[in-house]
A and B are shown apart, each in its own frame.
Chain A
Amino acid sequence: MTRKLPKKDVVIVGLGWTGSIMAHELTDEGLDVVAIERGPWRDAPTEYPPNYAQDELRYRIRHELFLRPDQTTFTFRNKMNQTALPIRSWGSFMPPNGVGGGGVHWNAETWRFLPSDFVLKTHLTQRYGASFLPEHMTIQDWGVTYDDLEAHYDRFEYLCGTSGTAGNLRGKIQEGGNPFEGPRSRPYPTPAQAQPFSHTLFGKAARELGYKPFPQPSGNLSKAYTNPLGVRLGPCTYCGFCEWFGCGNYSKASPQTTILPVLVRKSNFAVRDNSEVTRINTDRSNKRATGVTFVDTAGEEWEQPADLVILSAYTLFNVQLLLLSKIGEPYDPVANKGVIGRNFTHQTISTANGFFDNKKFNFNPFIASGSIGMCIDEFNGDNFDHGPHGFVGGGYMGQVQTNGRPISTTPIPPGTPKWGAAWKAAVRDNYLSSVVPGTGVHGSFYSYRDIYLDLDPTYRDRFDRPLMRMTIDFHDNEVKQNTFLTDHFGEIIKAMGANQVAKEYRKAPYDATQYQTTHVCGGAIMGADRATSALNRYLQSWDVPNLFVMGASAYPQNAGYNPTGTLCALAYWSAAAIRNQYLKNPGPLVDA
């Protein structure tokens, strides 16, 4: 028996980064807002304090902060002619759960996309011709431009206190920053983080090879900061327990450290934790959302009616809820019709590890933060001429090693036995003198007709609903892109003075057991054409105008950067449209 709650103006599904931004914006507008979060409340002093947060086994290996696959998982196959099987234990990505979402345990790498990324189809077609693009590549323009979003990127960076060195200030290229970035209106709110030894050495080697290295933009702050909401953060202390871990000392930007203390004080805001939304409800016309249904931990079902629904549950759960709620036409790859589930992408990640003379180099890898690193952007986006190379896309690369945690980061040179006395000696001799960048090459993943999401025909979750099915593989374009990038990356590692460089290319088939960042994107994409997108340029559903869908599910393809900065900028952009236009005149903001 579903119990109905009193109506709210707004219901927000999932209280992560975009949910928190939307909640803050819409409560400021005077609306009565409730957020419903599947996972538990989380906060540093109680859930990840600095006296037990630094536990690699518990958080990195046993995944304690993440969703349990038993709560919800996905099935996976590479190709359409295979049978998809359940992801029984997480591998290639780690779905978040809990208040703060991925914002609790991300690295806080805070990038902006390139201006060309937002008009990718137009740009590449103009430069290289349509036939240069692989057949069945389904990249699209976003419907917004970098210029549309600049003020909102700025807003997010100032919310977080992002530490960095500007590369392009209002059109003027700045020494020490990223010369390829789009113009920014003002400098970063705090200076770039100080770089430890190996990261500094990479920068030096890159410079000597003629590149323009710059510090990675970091949400681990270089100094104490008070954001525009009056919330204070402390300086990052380089503990080396960043991604996969909560920050114990208020120095990593997260909803908890930037928004929630102010948000919970508002009388027009409430959050329900440990409550899973199972359906977005619509009226008989299926053109208007009436609210959501959710289940609490006792198994009781509730209905939360609302005038406006914000779906901000993370890429995959957004798409899953749209499919299960029958909102929007599901994508059919054979007929090439439908929108929900299309243009699903991930990230093309690889690395090159360096082994140095341990009598000459001591890197203290345990002194690091999540967004530390010197990077170069020469090989990102369309920053170089792809004509001779036969692929499109690219990524940033850098020594971005975030940790020296010994369970995961005890590298041995290729060919070393995996066990025994030789293994032991190699681990001992190389721990302090190796460079293990991790996501050293962070490449784009463009979209294809046969990479998509839909509902699985066989496997079901604990509510007896079909699991969502992922069909995903690496196409030649991304493999070529990665080989090219990894080779260049390896050169820089070598130039640092490594005795041995072990390149680890990313190759097909896509392996769901190997972690490759949690930057899954697409499935409910934004665009100008409702035949090929689920959302308009304001992230408003074409089908259900009082539903807005946040997050990287909106990306028509993924660029060569971490996605969080852009999806938070889009949240601010969408919130502005809701506040300034939608609320005055509820209805479609863009004519179909």
Chain B
Amino acid sequence: MPKRATSTVLGATAVLVLLLVAMKSVVATTPDSQAFEQIERGRYLAIAADCVACHTVLDAGKPFAGGRPIETPFGNIVTPNITPDLDTGIGAWTDDEFDNAVRRGIRPNGARLYPAMPFTAYTKMSREDVLAIRAYLKTVASVHNEVVTNTLPFPFNIRAVMRVWNALYFTNGEFRPDQQKSAEWNRGAFLVQGPGHCTACHTPKSFLGGDKTSEYLRGSRLQGWFAPNITNDARTGLGSWSASDVATYLKTGHNRVTAATGPMAEAVKYSTSHMTDSDLAAIATYLKSVPGEPDNPSPVRMDDPSMIGGQAIYRDQCSACHSLDGRGVPQLFPSLADSSMARSSDPTTLIRIILRGARSVATAAEPTAPGMPSFGWQLDDAQVAAVVTYIRNAWGSAAAPVSARDVSSARSDLQGRTD
């Protein structure tokens, strides 16, 4: 054999060997996306991450097909189709492209995703986690649904703006367990910080919409609700809940003190009620380790005109369900006396529920789903403010009073809402 030919053959062989080796290592490290356990793992992570809630127009019968408008302070963002459809979904994306989108907020064409897609939290997941989700999503029904996703007004429709935002607010990187803490705590931390993306609703935001990390999980206003403090704060958070109370709430939507409604009802229905008991216990363990804010307001006095008016309204109306002592009926009517949500710094949720009514979530474990009627037609702003102030300060609790102006601005904000 001529020397040159030999080296070519050798070179070709070497390349071939390298290729084979490379392929082998690719085969060894990339799980089979059609394997049952991979898909099941992905399905569970997709539940924890609650992909279906945002990426589905509820009741339209097309899960994951996108098209749902997500309200942000900057306008509505419409969610894309993440079914395997080749033209209008993500069927044609590579695994890398999918991973980049979920954990780094970058689309295949390089455009940035808005943080309504909580990649800032999903970054905590590993590549394996995300590929499992991908494997699951490949198995859902393919839906042809063209979604126009760029619906924000100028200047927010310029996605390049996200580069700056990411620099300020996005810390790329997987979850690193804290070796000082238990396995259960770490699992809970991973779920809450990562796929659960609780911070997306429960951490207050800066004016640019990024997390105020110093107030982690202390509550945030969005979409006409106040997602309450879920740190272990005794007054306004989970401090008076046992870990079991937390887990029960997430599993069934109800516990001895309160019930999930509004966007949290959705989170319970599609996500947390389908998670394992040990995962919910882990979440509870983690949340109850997050410190609350040391705030101790003095209660409004019982002889304050608001309290007197509020007490009259409470006795005449609210006591029908929430009982004369404010303790409600366990698992049926929330206990206002024990309600940390009622004492939130931001009373938006309390005002909203009183004005519009609310339906609590139904789960298999708790199917009753009692509803609160709307009082907005019956009570004027001063009266709502009085009864809200009363609820926040009677029964040994304390929180800032609420004014008629707070109520009237809540009323106007709720005007156009349909949920």
Q: Which residues on A are within 8 Å of B, measured CB to CB? A: 43-46, 49-52, 224, 226, 229-235, 237, 239, 248-250, 261-262, 265
Contact B373 A45 (CB under 8 A): yes
A232 touches B332 (CB 8 A): yes
A239 and B320 in contact (CB under 8 A), knowing A49-B373, A232-B331, A261-B362?
yes
Q: A224-B329, A224-B332, A232-B331 are in contact. Are A45 and B320 (CB under 8 A)?
A: no
Q: Which of the candidate stretches B79-87, B111-119, B207-215, B364-372 sits at the interface with the other chain?
A: B364-372
Query: A261 to B330, alpha carbons, bound, how many Å?
Result: 18
Pick the residue among A224, A226, A229, A237 that contacts B320 (CB under 8 A).
A237
Considering only CB atoms, which chain B residue lies closest to A223 in the complex? B329
Does residue B378 face the partner (Cβ distance < 8 Å to A)? yes
Partner of B371, one of A46, A229, A232, A234: A46
A224 and B330 within 8 A (CB)? yes
Give B contacts to A, CB under 8 Å: 317, 319-321, 329-333, 357, 359, 362, 364-375, 378
Residues of A within 8 A of B319 (CB): 237
A residues less than 8 Å from B331 (CB atoms): 226, 232
4 pairs of A and B residues whose beta carbons are closest in the complex: A45-B371, A49-B373, A50-B320, A234-B329
Given contacts A45-B373, A51-B375, A234-B333, 18 further A-B contacts (CB under 8 A): A45-B371, A46-B357, A46-B371, A50-B320, A50-B373, A226-B331, A230-B365, A232-B329, A232-B332, A232-B366, A234-B332, A248-B321, A250-B321, A250-B332, A250-B370, A261-B369, A262-B367, A265-B362
CB of B332 to closest CB in A, whole Å? 5
A232 and B371 alpha carbons, distance in the complex (Å):
13
Q: Which residues of B contact A231 (CB under 8 A)?
A: 367-368
**In whole angstroms, what is the CA distance A235 to B366 when docked?**
18
Contact A261 to B367, CB < 8 A, known contacts A45-B359, A224-B332, A235-B329:
yes
Beyond A45-B359, A45-B372, A250-B332, is A230–B366 a contact (Cβ under 8 Å)? yes
B326 to chain A, nearest CB (A): 14
Residues of B near A229 (CB, < 8 A) are 367
25 contacts across the A-B interface (CB closer than 8 A): A43-B371, A44-B371, A44-B373, A45-B357, A45-B371, A46-B373, A50-B321, A50-B373, A51-B317, A51-B375, A52-B378, A224-B329, A224-B330, A224-B332, A230-B368, A232-B329, A234-B333, A249-B320, A249-B333, A250-B321, A250-B368, A250-B370, A261-B367, A262-B367, A265-B367
Query: Which secondary structure dominates where chain A touches chain B?
Result: loop
B374: chain A residues within 8 A (beta carbon): 49
Nearest CB in chain B: distance from A128 CB, A: 50
Q: Which residues of B contact A261 (CB under 8 A)?
A: 362, 367-369
| Cross-interface CB contact of A232 among B359, B368, B373, cutoff 8 Å | B368
| Shortest Cβ gap from A401 to chain B (Å) | 21
Taken together as a complex, chains A and B put the C-alpha atoms of A507 and B362 apart, in Å, by: 51
The residue of chain B having its C-beta at the shortest distance from the C-beta of A261 within the complex is B367
Which residues of A have CB within 8 Å of B365? 230
CB distance from B368 to the nearest CB of A (A): 5
Give the tally of cross-chain contacts (CB within 8 A): 69
| C-alpha spacing A233/B362, complex, angstroms | 15
CA separation between A231 and B368, bound complex, in Å?
Answer: 5
B332 touches A248 (CB 8 A): no
Are A50's CB and B317's CB within 8 A? yes
Distance in Å from the Cβ of A252 to the closest Cβ of chain B?
13
Give the CA-CA distance A549 to B355 in the complex, in Å. Answer: 44
Which among A49, A51, A230, A234 is the interface contact of B367 at CB below 8 angstroms?
Answer: A230
Question: Quick one: closest B residue to A229, CB to CB?
Answer: B367
How far, in Å, is A236 (CB) from chain B's closest CB?
A: 11
Residues in A with CB closer than 8 Å to B362 are 261, 265
Closest to A233 in B: B332
Chain B hits for A262, CB < 8 A: 367
- Docked complex Cα distance between A248 and B333 (Å): 12
Q: How far is the CB of B404 from chain A (nearest CB, A)?
A: 20
Q: How far is the CA of A45 from the CA of B365 in the complex (A)?
A: 21
Chain A residues near B330 (CB, 8 Å)?
Answer: 224
Task: Give, as a whole number of angstroms, the nearest-CB distance from B366 to chain A.
Answer: 7
CA distance A229 to B364 in the complex (A): 10
Check B373 against A51 for contact (C-beta < 8 Å). Answer: yes
Q: Which residues of the other chain, A, contact B357 by a CB distance below 8 angstroms?
A: 45-46, 49
Closest approach, in angstroms, between the C-beta of A45 and any C-beta of chain B? 3
CA distance A265 to B364 in the complex (A): 8
Minimum C-beta distance from A142 to chain B (A): 35
Give the chain A neighbours of B329 by CB distance below 8 A: 224, 232, 234-235
For the complex formed, measure the closest distance between the CB of B333 and the CB atoms of chain A, giving whole angstroms. 6
Nearest chain B residue, comparing its CB with the CB of A262: B367
Contact between A249 and B321 (Cβ–Cβ < 8 Å)? yes
Question: Bound complex: CA of A498 vs CA of B192, how far in Å?
Answer: 69
Residues on B with C-beta less than 8 A from A239 are: 320
- Report the Cα distance A43→B368, complex, angstroms: 12
Bound Cα distance from A235 to B330, whole angstroms: 11
Structural contact, A45 and B370, CB atoms closer than 8 A = yes
Q: Considering the chains assembled together, what is the distance between the CA atoms of A52 and B331 in angstroms?
A: 24
Q: How far is the CA of A90 from the CA of B197 in the complex (A)?
A: 59
CB B282 to nearest CB in A, in angstroms, measures: 26
Shortest C-beta distance, A237 to chain B (Å), equals 6
Roughly how many angstroms separate A50 CA and B371 CA in the complex, as a whole number?
A: 11
Which residues of B have CB within 8 Å of A51? 317, 373, 375, 378
Taking A45-B359, A265-B367 as contacts, is the C-beta distance between A234 and B321 under 8 angstroms? yes
Q: Measured between C-beta atoms, what is the minimum distance from B287 to chain A in Å?
A: 26
Q: Which residue of chain B is the closest to A44 with respect to CB atoms?
A: B371
Residue with the highest number of chain A CB atoms closer than 10 Å, among B373, B374, B378: B373
**Alpha-carbon gap, A104 to B154, bound state (A):** 53
Chain B positions within 8 Å of A45 at CB level: 357, 359, 370-373
In this complex, the member of B320, B365, B371 whose beta carbon has the largest number of chain A beta carbons within 10 angstroms is B320
Instruction: Give A349 Cβ to nearest chain B Cβ, in Å.
Output: 30
Distance between A342 CB and nearest chain B CB, rounded to angstroms: 42
In angstroms, how far is the closest chain B Cβ from the Cβ of A272? 17
A64, B291: Cα distance in complex, Å: 54
Nearest chain B CB to A264 CB, angstrom units:
9
Q: Determine the distance from Cα of A214 to Cα of B392 in the docked complex, in whole angstroms.
A: 43
A231 CA / B332 CA spacing, docked (Å): 10
Cβ–Cβ < 8 Å partners of B372 in chain A: 45
Give the chain A neighbours of B321 by CB distance below 8 A. 50, 234, 248-250
Residues on B with beta carbons closer than 8 Å to the beta carbon of A249: 320-321, 333
CA gap between A11 and B101 in the complex, in Å: 49
* Alpha-carbon separation in the docked complex, A265 to B321 (Å): 25
CA distance A248 to B370 in the complex (A): 11
Within the complex, the shortest CB–CB distance from B387 to chain A, in Å, comes to: 12
Report the separation of the CA atoms of residues A229 and B369 in the bound assembly, to the nearest whole angstrom: 13
A257, closest chain B residue (CB):
B368
Taking CB atoms, residues of chain B closer than 8 Å to A234 are: 321, 329, 332-333
CB closest residue in chain B, given A52: B378
A235 to B328, CA, bound (A): 10
Whole-angstrom distance from the CB of A269 to the nearest CB of chain B?
13
Residues of chain A contacted by B371 (CB below 8 angstroms) = 43-46
User: What is the minimal beta-carbon distance from A53 to any residue of chain B, in angstroms?
Assistant: 9
**Residue of B330, B365, B367, B374 ringed by the most chain A CB atoms within 10 A:** B367
Complex Cα distance, B321 from A248, in Å, reads: 8
- Select from chain A the residue with minimum beta-carbon distance to B369: A261
Residue of A nearest to B360 (CB): A45
Counting chain A CB atoms within 10 Å of each CB, the highest count among B329, B362, B375, B378 belongs to: B329
Query: Given the complex, which residues of A lie within 8 Å of B375, measured CB to CB?
Result: 51
Most B CB contacts (10 A, CB to CB) among A50, A235, A248 go to A50
B363 vs chain A, min Cβ distance (A): 9
Alpha-carbon distance between A235 and B332 when the two chains are bound, in angstroms: 11
Expressed in whole angstroms, the Cα–Cα distance for A226 and B252 within the complex equals: 15
Compute how far the CA of A45 lies from the CA of B368 in the bound complex, rounded to whole angstroms: 13
Chain A residues with CB under 8 Å of B378's CB are 51-52
Cα of A51 to Cα of B314 in the assembled complex, Å: 12
